[in-house]
Amino acid sequence: MTIQDPHKATIETAARPVALVQLPFPSQSVALPVLMRYYQIYEKEYQNVFPEYKLAEGDLWEAPLWVAHMDGAIGRDDTCFIDLSRVSCQKEECVKNICREVDPSYFIFFSPLAQNLSLASEVSRMLMERGYCTVIGGNMAELANPEDFSIVYNGLARADIYEKILSHKKKSISIEPVLGHVQQPLGYSPNYRLLSTFGKRVPLIRLHGSHGCLFGCTFCGDAWTRQLHLVEQERLKAEVDEIRRIFPDTRLIYIGDKTFGQSKESVENLRKVILPAFKFRLIVQTHVTMISPWLLDAMEELGVEVVEMGFETASSMTLRELKKLGGEERFMEALQALKSRGLRVILNVLGGLPNETRESQQRTLDFLEQTAHFVWLYNLYNFVPYPKTPLFPLIRDRIVDWNFQNWREDGPVVFTPLHQTREEAWEYFLRLVDVSTNLILRRQMLSKEILDEEACA
C-alpha cells in the first residue's frame, strides 16, 4: 500500500525506523523584554529554594517529554531523536541537520506547538521533496495542512500508534476520544533513553500518575478529552526507576497530572512508588476545588514543596462562562489552607481570555495584591486558542491573525475579544506582568529589611 504525497513521491508504508524531531521555538530567541526581566527575577527567587534550577540562555526549561512518550508508544529500538531545540529557526538549517542524521528510509515525526507549526510545515515540505515521509501529531495537528505532511495523526498516542500509521489507508488518521472517568490504559510506558543528554541541561523532570482531565474548563487544551487515563502502579514504578537511572542527579520532579487529586488512585500510586529515600522534591499542579485535608495530607507525605494552581480571573461570573468553578472566596480558602501546611504556591495566571472585561481584569489585579502574602510566584501566560480547547470553535470566526508564529503565550491575542479590543487585552497583560514583578520585588525587599534588622540585633 502506498500514500501519495503532494509532491508525487511514493511512500512505502513498510516497517521503517522513526526519527523524533524537536524543533526550535521563535520565542527562545525573540522574547518579550518585560517578561524576560520578570522571569530573571522569578528564576533568582526560585534558585533561593531550588539551587539546581538553572537554565542556559535560549534553552528549553524542561526535556521534551513527548519524545519519551512517543518512543515508549512506538516501542522500537531503532527510534532516534534529533534535537534541534538550540538550532536557529531557519527551515534550511533544520532540514540540513535532519538530512545529516537520517536518510529517507526514516519516518520523521513532528509534534509542534502553535508558534513552530509553520516551521514544521516548511521543514516537512522540503523533506518530502527529498523523498522523506513526515508525520505530524500533537496539539496543532488539527490545523495542519494535510498537503504539508505525508501523514496527519490527530488523537492520543497509544501503544498501537506505529501500527496504525503503517496500516492506515488515508493521509489523515483521527482517533476520537471516548468520554468518561474510567478509561483503558494507554498501553505503554515512557522511555527516557533518548533524553539522557538533557540530564545536565534541565532542572526538573515531569512525571505523570494520570493523563487527561475530567474538568471541562473551556480554555484548557486538555478539556477536549474529558477522560482520565490512570498509569498503572507497576508502569509508574518502572518509570520512576527509569528517571532515577537516566537522570541520577535530578531531584526536582514535576507531577504532570493536569489536576493532581482528581484521581485518588493516582495519588496513592505515587505515594507507593516515590519513596523518601529518593529525596525527590515535588511540584504539583491542581484545581482550586481539589484542595482538601486529604489531599494536603497526601502532599505532605509525598514531599510536595510547591503547588501550582490555575488562576484565570477573580470574577466568578467570568469563570462560570468558561465552565470553571472558582472565584475569590474559594481561592482565598485554598491559599490559606496551603499556607497553613507550609506549601509554596504558584498561581498560573492566564490573561487574554475572550470574555474578560475591564472590571474582571481589575478585580484580578486587586486580588493578586490582596493575596500577595499567600503566593510565592506567578506563571504568566496569554491565552492561545489551540484547536483542542473547547473555546476554539466558539471564537474561530474572531481570529484575525492566522500566522501561527504569532500564536504565543507571551504575545498579543490573535483574536478580537468579546468586550474589548486586542490592544486593550494586551495592555492588561502588560499590567499583569508589571504587578507580578512588583509583588515579588516588594517581598524580596521586605525580606532583606528583616534580615538586616536581625543582623543588627
Q: What is the pLDDT, as a whole number, of residue 17?
A: 95
Give the per-residue pLDDT at 255: 94
Count of other CB atoms within 10 angstroms of residue 372: 17
pLDDT (0 to 100) of residue 331: 93
**pLDDT for 183 beyond 70:** no
Quick one: what percent of the chain has pLDDT higher than 90? 57
Q: Which domains are assigned to the chain? A: 2-25+63-174 (3.40.50), 204-456 (3.80.30.20)
137-150: per-residue pLDDT in tens?
988 888 999 999 99
- What is the mean pLDDT of the segment spanning 108-118? 92
The yes-or-no verdict on residue 438 having pLDDT over 90 is yes
**Letter for the amino acid at 217?**
C
pLDDT, mean of residues 160-174:
81
Give the pLDDT confidence of 344-362 residue by residue, as tens digits: 999 999 999 999 999 999 9
pLDDT for the residue 282: 96
**Range among 97-111, 184-198, 210-224 with highest mean pLDDT value:** 97-111
Mean pLDDT to the nearest integer, 238-246:
91
**pLDDT(113) > 90:** no
Which range among 119-133, 179-193, 386-400, 411-425 shows the weakest confidence by mean pLDDT?
179-193
pLDDT value of residue 114: 86
Mean pLDDT on 375-384: 94
CA distance 291 to 283: 15
Higher pLDDT residue, 441 or 327?
Answer: 441
DSSP character string of 396-435: GGGB----GGG--TTS--SB--SSS-HHHHHHHHHHHHHH
Mean pLDDT estimate for the chain: 87
Average pLDDT over residues 217-236: 80
| pLDDT above 60 (res 377) | yes
The DSSP-derived string for 23-77 is ---GGGTS--HHHHHHHHHHHHHHHHH-TT----TT--SS--HHHHHHHHHH--T
Residue 165 is predicted with a pLDDT of 86
Indicate whether 276 pLDDT > 70.
yes
Helix (H) or strand (E) holding 380: strand 377-382
- Is the CB of residue 262 less than 8 Å from the CB of residue 213? yes
Measured at the CA of 413, the angle between CA 409 and CA 415, to 5 degrees, comes to 140
More confident residue, 314 or 423: 423
CB atoms within 10 A of CB 445: 10
Neighbours of 150 (CB within 10 A): 25
Question: Is residue 6 predicted with pLDDT exceeding 60?
Answer: no
Residue located via cell numbers 493536569: 258
- Residue 186 pLDDT: 72
Q: Which helix (H) or strand (E) holds 283?
A: strand 281-286
Higher local confidence (pLDDT), 96 or 34: 96
Q: Which of 45-54, 77-86, 99-108, 298-307 comes out lowest in average pLDDT?
A: 45-54
pTM equals 0.86
- In angstroms, the CA 3 to CA 151 distance is 9
Question: Is residue 32's pLDDT more than 90?
Answer: no
For residue 305, give the H/E element and its range: strand 304-311
Mean pLDDT across 134-161: 89
Is the pLDDT reported for residue 424 higher than 80? yes
The residue type of 40 is: Q
- In the prediction, which pLDDT does 1 show? 30
pLDDT at 8 over 60: no
